[in-house]
C-alpha cells in the first residue's frame, strides 16, 4: 500500500498560496477520481481508497507546513507504511512555475515541511512530487513572501488542468518511483 500526502497550510487564507501546491494537487487528484477525504485523525485528514486496483491512502495534514512530519510519521506508523512507499507532494522554489519533478530521497532544499518529515521519519528515503513555484534564475525574492503569495490565475488554472501531471500520479500507483521519474521528469 502507498501513502500519498499533499502538503499545505489549512484555512481559506492559504488556499491558493504557492506553499499549498500539495493541497491543490491532492484536491484536484481526488476530484478527478470522484473521491473525497472524510476521515480525521493524526491532526489531518485521509482516506483509504482503491484506484486502478491499487490500495492507497490519500492524505493532507492540518498541522501547518512546518510540522507536516508529525502527521506523516503518525499515519505511516499507524498503517505500517514504509518510507519507500510514501510520496509527498509539495511546493519547490528551485523548480520554475508551471513545471514539476519527481524525486526519491535527498535533502529538503529549504522546504520546512520536507525538513520536518525527514526529522520525524528518521530518513530521507521517501518519494517527492515537487511542484514548481520558482522564478527564473537571478531574480531576487523574499522566500517567505513568495511561498505565501497566491498563484496567479494563469498558473492556478494551469496546475488544475495539467492532465500529464495527474496521469503521472496514476502511473505512480502501479509503478515504482524510478519508473515514474524516467517517464515523467523532463
Convert the pLDDT of each residue in 18-53 to its tens digit.
999 999 999 999 999 999 999 999 999 999 999 989
Question: How far apart (Å, rounded) are the C-alpha atoms in residues 10 and 73?
Answer: 19
Core vs surface per residue 76-96: b (16+ CB within 10 A) or e: beeeebebebbbbbbbbbebe
C-alpha cell at 23: 493541497
Contact 94, 102 (CB under 8 A): no
Question: How far apart (Å, rounded) are the C-alpha atoms in residues 109 and 104?
Answer: 13
CB-CB neighbours of 28 under 10 Å: 18
User: In Å, how far are 38, 136, 140 from 177, measured between CA atoms?
Assistant: 27, 27, 33
Which run of H or of E encompasses 170?
A: helix 163-174
Question: How far apart (Å, rounded) are the C-alpha atoms in residues 28 and 126?
Answer: 22
pLDDT at 147: 84
Which run of H or of E encompasses 104?
A: strand 100-104
Which residues of the chain, if any, have pLDDT below 70? 136-141
Identify the bridge partners of residue 101 per DSSP, sorted by sequence position: 130
Active-site residue set: 19
pLDDT at 132: 94
Contact 164, 102 (CB under 8 A): no
pLDDT at 137: 64
pLDDT at 110: 85
Amino acid at each position: 500500500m502507498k501513502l500519498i500526502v499533499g502538503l499545505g497550510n489549512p484555512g481559506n487564507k492559504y488556499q491558493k498560496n504557492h506553499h499549498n501546491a500539495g493541497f491543490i494537487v491532492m484536491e484536484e487528484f481526488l476530484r478527478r477520481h470522484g473521491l473525497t477525504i472524510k476521515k480525521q485523525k493524526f491532526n489531518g485528514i485521509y482516506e483509504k481508497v482503491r484506484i486502478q486496483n491499487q490500495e492507497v491512502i490519500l492524505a493532507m495534514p492540518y498541522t501547518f507546513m512546518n510540522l507536516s512530519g508529525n502527521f506523516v510519521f503518525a499515519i505511516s506508523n499507524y498503517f505500517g507504511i514504509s518510507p519507500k512507499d510514501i510520496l509527498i507532494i509539495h511546493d519547490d522554489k528551485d523548480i520554475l512555475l508551471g513545471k514539476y519533478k519527481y524525486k526519491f530521497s535527498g535533502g529538503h532544499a529549504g522546504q520546512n515541511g520536507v525538513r520536518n518529515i525527514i526529522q520525524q521519519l528518521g530518513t530521507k528515503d521517501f518519494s517527492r512530487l515537487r511542484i514548481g513555484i520558482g522564478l527564473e534564475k537571478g531574480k531576487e525574492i523574499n522566500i517567505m513572501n513568495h511561498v505565501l503569495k497566491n498563484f496567479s490565475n494563469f498558473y492556478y488554472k494551469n496546475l488544475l488542468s495539467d492532465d500529464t501531471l495527474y496521469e503521472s500520479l496514476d502511473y505512480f500507483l502501479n509503478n515504482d518511483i524510478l519508473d515514474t521519474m524516467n517517464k515523467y521528469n523532463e
